[in-house]
Amino acid sequence: MNSRSHRKQAVVIGGSIAGLLAARVVADYFQSVLIIDRDDLSKNGEQRRSVPQGRHAHALLSGGQGAIENLLPGISRQLIDAGEKVTWGRLIFEPPWTFFRTYFVNLGFLDGVEGLAIANMAALYNFLKYAKVRFMSPGR
């Protein structure tokens, strides 16, 4: 007996990445899946009103990427192809600018050694982020 035969529709509340992945998982067990979110999700790349942390820097660790890739084969390549292209200039100049902004403009130097460490980590994070995207992109 097909596990979908008596299960018509699942409802997932929330269109975040967690909600979308949950919808993908339950799609194997239901004929259809309805995702309900208070924001209009048809606007590509726009800040969502109900997600104030959306502007913050986010990172996806390789284990999470692998788990998502298992659910949605080929998604990593699609996201890389659709994403922003990183130039050599951005790879070279963005990390020092991040350090300068974090340490001087945002007054990180007032925090002493801790401020210096935070500025260094922010710059390193930006470098690693842009380097990974740069070297994963086709036709780099």
The per-residue pLDDT for range 73-104, each reduced to its tens digit, is 999 888 888 877 888 999 999 999 999 999 99
Spatial contact of 5 and 29, defined as CB atoms under 8 Å apart = no
Res. 139: pLDDT tops 70: no
Res. 42: pLDDT tops 80: no
53 pLDDT band (50/70/90 cuts)?
confident
Mean pLDDT across the stretch 31-37?
94
Token look-up 């979308």 returns: 20
CA 38, 27, 82: angle at the middle one, nearest 5? 65
Instruction: Give domain limits for the chain.
Output: 1-40, 79-140
Query: Residue 103 is encoded by which pair of tokens?
Result: 């340490």
